[in-house]
Each structure stands twice: as C-alpha cells, then as structure tokens.
C-alpha cells in the first residue's frame, strides 16, 4: 500500500459572510476570508484534486467578488512551489465542477480527468434550480473519465459518491501516514460545520437529505478530513 503525501494549494481567496457557508447558521454579518483550495497528492502517481477558480478579472471571476488571487496563487506557480510542474500531473480528480474547483483544467496538458458520471450528465443538461456555481462553457471543454459511484481508482486512492452540494459531488479517500484522509470538496466547507452535532451542510445545498447521508458516509470511513474552503488546512493547520 502506498502512503500518499498531501499538500494543500492556496489558489485564491473569497470574502463572504460566514453565515452563507453554514446552512441554518444564525444571521451573521461577519465577513470571513475563505481560501480556494486544491490538493496535490504525491505517491505512486502525481495527482491533483480540483484545479481552482477563474482569474478574478475575467467575467465569471468578477461575479464572485470580492475574490482575489496573487501571482503565487496561480495554479502553475502553486504547483511548482509544491515541487511539481503542471505538465507532470498525471491524474486530476474533480470533487465537482463548480467554477472555483474546475476552472484550470486546461493548464494540465498531460493529465487524465476524473469526475462522477452524475456530475458530467448534469452539465450536459442542467436544470436552472441547481445551476448556481457552474461556468458550463469552460467545464464542458474537458474530456472526462467518468466514475459510477464509489470506486477504487488506484492503489490507495478511492472516491465516494457524495451528492448534496451538487448532483454528482465526490470525495477522495487517500491512504496517508495519518490514516484514511478524505478530501471533501464542498460537501464540508468549514471545520466548524462538520464539528456540529449533527454535522451541518454547507450553505449551497441542492439536496439536504442527500447531503446529510453523504456526511454520514464520510464520517464512517475517515480518520482525517480536509474540507473544501477551510483556512485551517493551510500551514500550520492540517485538517480535522
């Protein structure tokens, strides 16, 4: 069994009301800075989980304002700082296809891209009520290898189908020195939402019951969790 090393990549920052990040949280005007995150997995394969967001200055990036990204937070430079070149990434696993998780696929010329079949089918025939967060023209340009539900992709790397935030969201389960580490994408956005009893869904939730079931599924298999937008995963943090 390969034990992967996981490096979080900080690919920009969004300022949002904290109450928008946790469904059912009390009214709150407090603003928070939430990182756009991807994760580099180094082991038998060089794997990237998610690819980050659009440039802040382009039309879709401007919709997410206030959203900022420094030159060091652009994906190629962030990867090189982690010790790998963009062209050396072999595998990309996308937790879902929202603008802030799948906008830089084109910068990884030699990678194979994996997403859930349910997510891919949704972007081909989207429904208006579940379309928030997608930039369809951009994500349709990628050629995906489709996964049907829970699956072992490689030695020490598996995915779980975890709908709720989107129709075809998935979490990535990785064998590490810290045990089974689950990269949750936006199923779990912040530490505190997961630590609630019961764990609370993130603010954008198209199917509450599915999301609650997905949270239970993740809890059952995880030794450590790395959320989708929590500043605590960045040094000197390290997940839950």
User: Could you state, in order of their start, the residue ranges of all structural domains in the chain?
Assistant: 5-233
- Please tell me the distance from the alpha carbon of residue 121 to that of residue 239, in angstroms, as a whole number: 31
The confidence score (pLDDT) of residue 18 equals 65
- Predicted confidence (pLDDT) at residue 224 exceeds the cutoff of 60: yes
Instruction: Give the pLDDT confidence of 28-37 residue by residue, as tens digits.
Output: 555 688 999 9
- Please tell me the distance from the alpha carbon of residue 80 to that of residue 9, in angstroms, as a whole number: 10
Model confidence at 23, in pLDDT bands (50, 70, 90)?
A: low
CB 189 within 8 A of CB 16: no
- Predicted confidence (pLDDT) at residue 78 exceeds the cutoff of 90: yes
- Predicted confidence (pLDDT) at residue 21 exceeds the cutoff of 70: no
% residues pLDDT > 70 (the chain): 91
- Specify the pTM: 0.94
What is the DSSP secondary structure assignment for residue 80, as one 8-state letter? H
pLDDT higher for 127 or 60?
Answer: 127
pLDDT higher for 162 or 235?
Answer: 162
Q: Tell me the mean pLDDT in the region 95-110.
A: 97
Architecture of domain 5-233: 4-Layer Sandwich (3.60)
Distances (CA, A) of 136 to 104, 131, 154: 13, 9, 29
Mean pLDDT, the chain, as a whole number?
Answer: 91
Q: Tell me the mean pLDDT in the region 161-167.
A: 96
Q: 151-187 burial string, b = 16+ CB within 10 Å, else e? A: eebbebbbbbbbbbbbbbbbbbbbbbeeeebbbbbbb
The confidence score (pLDDT) of residue 236 equals 75
Model confidence at 196, in pLDDT bands (50, 70, 90)?
A: confident
The confidence score (pLDDT) of residue 31 equals 67
């Amino acid at each position: 069994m390969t034990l992967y090393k996981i490096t979080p990549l900080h690919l920009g920052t969004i300022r949002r009301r904290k109450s928008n990040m946790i469904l059912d949280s009390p009214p709150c005007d407090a603003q928070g800075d939430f990182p756009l995150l991807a994760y580099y997995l180094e082991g038998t394969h060089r794997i990237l989980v998610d690819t980050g967001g659009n440039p802040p200055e382009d039309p879709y990036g401007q919709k997410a304002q206030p959203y900022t990204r420094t030159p060091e937070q652009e994906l190629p430079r962030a990867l090189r700082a982690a010790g790998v070149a963009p062209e050396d990434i072999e595998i990309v696993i996308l937790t879902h296809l929202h603008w802030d998780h799948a906008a830089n696929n084109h910068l990884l010329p030699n990678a194979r891209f994996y997403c859930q079949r349910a997510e891919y089918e949704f972007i081909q025939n989207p429904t208006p009520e579940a379309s928030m967060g997608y930039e369809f023209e951009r994500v349709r340009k990628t050629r995906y290898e489709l996964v049907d539900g829970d699956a072992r992709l490689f030695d020490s790397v598996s995915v779980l189908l975890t709908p709720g935030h989107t129709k075809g969201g998935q979490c990535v389960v990785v064998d590490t020195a810290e045990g089974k580490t689950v990269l949750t994408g936006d199923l779990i956005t912040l530490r505190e939402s997961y630590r609630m009893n019961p764990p609370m869904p993130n603010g954008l939730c198209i199917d509450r019951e599915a999301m609650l079931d997905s949270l239970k599924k993740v809890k059952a298999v995880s030794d450590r969790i790395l959320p989708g937008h929590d500043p605590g995963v960045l040094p000197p943090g390290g997940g839950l």
